């Protein structure tokens, strides 16, 4: 209403009043824009506060979680379990040795029966070794039941008394001693394998067996020294989250909320995405701004920017249906069998997700880099040509260096986009909550991972509101938030600081 009178006022011949009304209009406009900006800021602050409020409750809950883990003796049982699991891992290593030997024998054209008889001694060894661990596994399983019962009782408020649990220590010592004797007897008389390659692998496993035996006294020491009353410090709740290597939820045993596997997944996917997207994005920006003719520019530029319009869920489906399958089919080609980690068993892995995310980062990197390149003053280029440099020299020595800060911040903003992407990684990263096995070298980039964004999307819908799991997901969200915040800040700082002085 007032705006209408303003316009009427402006048309009026009396200049003074028109002037006053013009100021009033200006005020209204100022209030309108200022108000909107203010609302946006308030909403952002509220969201941040909400995130922090929901998330920080996690630490109290997690501390409780860690305390009951110690008080109910779950920690005690887990010391023994580590030993039992080391044994199981060695059994698995033995069966891998067998697979290797069997494959070599099959290549030599032996029949199945010949193979089985040649491997009979080894099988005997492997079975005896595996059986040697049965007693300990049984004890761990029994004690585990007791500890769980203690934990449940403690949850109802009764004090947990771990004395009964610890009274099993002599049994443990007995079993441990018997196992040592058995394994030493086995190691004294190991079978021979016919192929040198398998024999080498077997020797390695035997060495591992010896080191694991040597650790038995240390384990026993830890069991003896274990103290249920040792306080869990408040910061352990934070470190167990930020440095925790396990994310195990809805467990009957103990829930762990460690962000490292998820962080590793997010970072690896982003590394792949940027490795692919940076050359494409920057090179095409250079081409468009420096080399391309006008019709080429008109064709390529909107086309690349159009990629940004593809919904990420569509890209995700493309990844599942086409790209993942294609990558696996490629890895199964006989010509590529020299690549150590081929053929791939998982089609949904870091690379599949990263390749798709690269597609989403290219438009961001391209557009912003191109802006940076265009902002290089014309005089720079002309000066370079005047000094006799050709076009390639001008691009490489003058134009790209002088817009480098803009390009770097474009890349960082692309990274911010990639690390926050959810749908593609949820569908295509394979969702395995484990730190990839880096001993495989580049093969680690072809293993499935789970990501910070993916886990929030996957689990938030089904957790009980207000539970520790729910709060843990908010904490993951906060970590993600700070990560993107840092990336964006870095992008701003770089473009502000290292801008080449123009003029």
**Least distance to another protein, CB of residue 347, Å:** 7
Residue 409, judged by CB atoms within 10 A of its CB (0-12, 13-18, 19+), counts as buried
**Least distance to another protein, CB of residue 350, Å:** 13
Q: Which is nearer to another protein, 54 or 101 (CB)?
A: 101
Q: Which helix (H) or strand (E) holds 257?
A: strand 256-257
Stretch that binds another protein, among 37-45, 247-255, 384-392, 417-425 (CB under 8 A): 247-255
Residues 454-483 that bind another protein (CB under 8 A): 458-459, 461-463, 469
86 near another protein, rule: CB under 8 A: no
Beta strands in 77-182 (DSSP E): none
Residues 359-378 that bind another protein (CB under 8 A): none
Residue 496, judged by CB atoms within 10 A of its CB (0-12, 13-18, 19+), counts as exposed
Among 21, 70, 98, 417, binds another protein (CB under 8 A): 98
**Least distance to another protein, CB of residue 180, Å:** 22
Task: Give the per-residue SS3 of 144-170.
Answer: HHHHHHHHHHHHCCCCCCCHHHHCCHH
Query: 327 vs 339, 349, 358, 427, 429, CA distance in Å?
Result: 14, 10, 16, 16, 13
Stretch that binds another protein, among 7-15, 90-98, 409-417, 485-493 (CB under 8 A): 90-98
Q: Is the preceding peptide bond at 363 cis, omega within 30 degrees of 0?
A: no
103 near another protein, rule: CB under 8 A: yes
**Least distance to another protein, CB of residue 158, Å:** 15
CA 20 to CA 17: how far, in whole Å? Answer: 5
346 near another protein, rule: CB under 8 A: yes
Q: Which helix (H) or strand (E) holds 2?
A: helix 2-11
Among 180, 195, 297, 431, binds another protein (CB under 8 A): 431
31 near another protein, rule: CB under 8 A: no
User: 10 Å Cβ neighbour count for 5?
Assistant: 12
Among 102, 143, 411, 444, binds another protein (CB under 8 A): 102
Decide: 468 and 58 in contact? Cβ < 8 Å.
yes
219 near another protein, rule: CB under 8 A: no
Q: Which is nearer to another protein, 119 or 411 (CB)?
A: 119
Q: Which residues contribute to the site for another protein (CB under 8 A)?
A: 88, 92, 95-96, 98-99, 102-103, 141, 246, 248-253, 320, 325, 345-348, 426-427, 430-434, 448, 450, 458-459, 461-463, 469
């Amino acid at each position: 209403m007032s705006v209408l009178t303003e316009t009427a006022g402006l048309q009026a011949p009396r200049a003074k009043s028109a002037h006053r009304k013009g100021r009033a209009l200006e005020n209204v406009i100022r209030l309108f824009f200022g108000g909107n900006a203010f609302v946006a800021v308030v909403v952002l602050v509220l969201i941040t506060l909400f995130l922090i409020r929901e998330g920080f409750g996690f630490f109290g809950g997690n501390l409780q979680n860690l305390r009951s883990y110690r008080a109910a003796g779950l920690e005690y049982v887990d010391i023994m379990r580590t030993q039992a699991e080391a044994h199981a891992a060695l059994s698995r290593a033995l069966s891998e040795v067998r697979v290797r030997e069997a494959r070599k024998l099959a290549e030599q054209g032996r029949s199945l029966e010949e193979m089985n008889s040649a491997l009979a001694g080894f099988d005997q060894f492997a079975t005896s070794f595996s059986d040697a661990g049965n007693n300990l596994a049984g004890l761990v399983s029994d004690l585990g039941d007791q500890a769980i019962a203690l934990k449940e009782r403690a949850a109802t408020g009764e004090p947990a008394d771990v004395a009964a649990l610890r009274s099993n220590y002599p049994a443990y010592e007995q079993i441990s001693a018997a196992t040592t004797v058995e394994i030493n007897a086995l190691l004294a008389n190991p079978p021979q394998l016919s192929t040198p390659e398998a024999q080498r692998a077997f020797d390695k496993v035997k060495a591992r067996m010896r080191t694991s035996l040597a650790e038995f006294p240390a384990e026993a020491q830890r069991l003896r020294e274990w103290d249920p009353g040792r306080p869990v410090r408040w910061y352990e709740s934070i470190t167990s989250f930020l440095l925790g290597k396990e994310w195990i939820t809805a467990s009957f045993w103990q829930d762990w909320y460690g962000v490292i596997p998820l962080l590793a997944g997010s970072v690896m996917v982003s590394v792949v995405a940027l490795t692919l997207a940076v050359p494409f994005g920057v090179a095409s920006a250079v081409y468009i701004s420096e080399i391309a003719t006008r019709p080429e520019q008109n064709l390529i530029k909107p086309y690349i920017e159009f990629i940004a319009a593809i919904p990420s869920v569509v890209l995700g489906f493309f990844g599942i249906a086409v790209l993942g399958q294609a990558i696996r089919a490629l890895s199964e080609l006989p010509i590529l069998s020299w690549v150590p980690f081929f053929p791939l068993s998982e089609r949904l892995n870091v690379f599949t997700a990263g390749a798709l995310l690269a597609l989403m980062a290219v438009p961001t990197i391209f557009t912003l880099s191109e802006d940076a390149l265009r902002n290089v003053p014309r005089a720079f280029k002309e000066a370079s040509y005047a000094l006799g440099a050709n076009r390639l020299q001008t691009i490489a020595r003058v134009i790209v260096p002088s817009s480098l800060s803009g390009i770097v911040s474009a890349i960082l903003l692309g990274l911010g986009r990639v690390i926050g992407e959810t749908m593609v990684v949820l569908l295509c990263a394979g969702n395995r909550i484990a730190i990839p096995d880096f001993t495989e070298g580049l093969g680690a980039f072809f293993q499935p991972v789970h990501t910070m964004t993916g886990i929030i999307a996957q689990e938030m819908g089904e957790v009980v509101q207000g539970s520790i799991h729910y709060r843990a997901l908010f904490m993951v969200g906060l970590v993600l938030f700070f990560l993107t915040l840092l990336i964006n800040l870095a992008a701003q700082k770089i473009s502000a600081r290292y801008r080449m002085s123009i003029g």
